[in-house]
Amino acid sequence: MSATVPLLGLETEYGVVRDKVESYDVVEESMRLVRRCEMKSEFGNWAYSRERSHQDMRGFNVSSLAQDEEEDSFCAEDRKRPYSYWEMKSDRVLENGARFYNDHTHPEYSTPECGSVFQLVAHDLAGERIVAECARLRNQEGEPGSVQIFKNNTDYIGHSYGTHDNYLISRRLPFEHWVERLVPFLVTRQLYTGAGKVGTELRHDNSFSGLQLAQRSDFIETVLSIETMTQRPIINTRDEPHATANKYRRLHLILGDANMSPYATALKVGTTRLVLTLIGEEKLSPPVELENPVNDIKTISRDHTGTVLLKRVDGGTITPLEIQESYLESVEKNLSGQCKEWDWIIREWTRTLDELQYHPEKLADRIDWAIKKDIFSRFMESEGVGWDDPWIKSLDLEYHNIDPERGLYRGLEQTGDVVSMFSEDEVTRAVKQPPEDTRAFVRGLAVTHGTGKIKNIHWTGIEFTDGGFIDLSKIVTSADVEHLLSSKKEQYPWL
């Protein structure tokens, strides 16, 4: 089986609201939420000096980013607060190898590096459980109102926060090779990965009424950009591999939605991984070049059928469904029969596109936008309201509430109305244990057994107070993990 994409990861910024109070400081709420985490963790020692966010895959460095300006403004504001900038960040590396910290106005959970799609989805669900438990503990403190946490991508007043999927890919091929083959796929994958969104937040065109496929589509502004907060791109060009730089790139995608459905998350990451595998093996020709992919993202998001016509550069038109079917055909031809997980992805990808075309109502147990369409339509019919009623936007938000007592998706889980992919035991295991076949296993062991001995920690390595250092940047395969464990056993007996 190809190892073109050996490591996968997800980063999720959660929305925070304190209800029933007139005002609150969202930065402080986010900080205090992270600080309520009772898991064993390495606190406050994240190695920011190893971050390289200004290097662009197109071969240059940028002098500044929009996030730098925001950091500066936040720092100015933070000086008024009774704690330092680093206390505010409240960085934690958890015993399961994940990172959990305050990204200023959002608690962010970054999964450990995973070697399989199912493993990654389980760790994404583990992140939900960890954040929900922090909220539960926070709400026991007896302050007015209660903290509510939402796994979504918009506050419905013009702000968007991200869910980023990450893939370790080869540096052997030019970046442009990846871009031209990947853009049409990314533009159209929202047909099954979109989390659904009531209305629109486009400032220049707010005439849309109804349910969109995806939440992030309104906020995509360009094809390529290193930025993540302005000029949000289809493909982010940040060149920060977190691995051996002359061998690998980290493809950092910021256009995706936060899915409540683990099935949708598995399809999102799984189909993308298979397409990247084909591109890396040079078995995929560009299926089509779209005339205006940025506008197409928004057009597709407003059509539930996948049949809207998109203009091609070479003339003529093509539908989103036809683009997805072209990718699926290439994947099925080249990658079928290589492993059970890949075959599951191919089978469910086929099934989903088929049902979207012929029986879209059947998607309402596993694709987020289709679940919303079903339950909101039935609610509107019973209450005699339309898509523009504020009630529906409120329900849209509550769909993403991770509180088991309040969240609409949580209620559907409890009644068995949505597809369940993992047992509670599997998710609980991911809360506590890192993947054993990736470098996250070493990081998790260090956190569990190295209390008081860690000077700083990062995706790429662990520095100890005695001067020792474990380099994780070269640890990519399970064989690399085994070699590291055996070679360092004498120096670090807890490995």
Residue 3 included in any domain: no
Instruction: Looking at the structure, tell me whether residues 350 and 448 fall in a common domain.
Output: no
Q: Which helix (H) or strand (E) holds 310?
A: strand 310-311
Instruction: Looking at the structure, tell me whether residues 394 and 481 fall in a common domain.
Output: no
Q: 109 vs 127, 434, 455, CA distance in Å?
A: 6, 14, 22
The percentage of residues in the chain with a pLDDT greater than 90, rounded to a whole number, is 84
Rounded to whole angstroms, the Cα distance separating 268 from 256 reads 8
Residue 492 included in any domain: no
pLDDT recorded at residue 203: 77
Q: Which residues of 433-447 are buried (b: 16+ CB within 10 A; e: fewer)?
A: bbbebbbbbbbbbbb
pTM of this prediction?
0.96
Residue 241 included in any domain: yes
Rounded to whole angstroms, the Cα distance separating 122 from 262 reads 8
Rounded to whole angstroms, the Cα distance separating 95 from 50 reads 21
CB 454 within 8 A of CB 462: yes
Instruction: Looking at the structure, tell me whether residues 412 and 451 fall in a common domain.
Output: no
Residue 48 included in any domain: yes
pLDDT tens per residue, range 88-97: 899 999 999 9
Residue 2 included in any domain: no
pLDDT tens per residue, range 462-473: 999 999 999 999
pLDDT tens per residue, range 300-341: 999 999 999 999 999 999 999 999 999 999 999 999 999 999
> Residue 209 belongs to a domain with what CATH number?
3.30.590
Instruction: Looking at the structure, tell me whether residues 316 and 227 fall in a common domain.
Output: yes
pLDDT recorded at residue 2: 47
Rounded to the nearest integer, the mean pLDDT of the chain is 94
Instruction: Looking at the structure, tell me whether residues 124 and 145 fall in a common domain.
Output: yes
Residue located via tokens 């209450």: 383
pLDDT recorded at residue 1: 43
Residues of the chain with pLDDT under 70: 1-3, 67-79
Instruction: Looking at the structure, tell me whether residues 81 and 114 fall in a common domain.
Output: yes
Asked which of 392, 410, 428 is the last residue of a domain, the reply is: 428
| Residue of 362, 351, 359 whose CA lies nearest to 324 | 351
pLDDT recorded at residue 432: 97
- Length of the chain in terms of residues written: 495
Residue 1 included in any domain: no
Which residues span the domain enclosing 452? Answer: 434-487
Instruction: Looking at the structure, tell me whether residues 62 and 95 fall in a common domain.
Output: yes
pLDDT recorded at residue 222: 97
Instruction: Looking at the structure, tell me whether residues 439 and 345 fall in a common domain.
Output: no
Could you please report the per-residue DSSP string of 396-437? Answer: HHHHTB--TTT-HHHHHHHTT-S---S-HHHHHHHHH---TT
pLDDT recorded at residue 229: 84
Instruction: Looking at the structure, tell me whether residues 367 and 462 fall in a common domain.
Output: no
pLDDT recorded at residue 81: 76
Residue 201 included in any domain: yes
Asked which of 383, 410, 428 is the last residue of a domain, the reply is: 428
| Residue of 206, 98, 109, 223 whose CA lies nearest to 161 | 109
Asked which of 428, 450, 470 is the last residue of a domain, the reply is: 428
pLDDT recorded at residue 73: 61
Domain count, the chain: 2
Instruction: Looking at the structure, tell me whether residues 135 and 264 fall in a common domain.
Output: yes
Instruction: Looking at the structure, tell me whether residues 419 and 447 fall in a common domain.
Output: no
Residues designated as active site: 103
Residue 62 included in any domain: yes
Instruction: Looking at the structure, tell me whether residues 18 and 141 fall in a common domain.
Output: yes
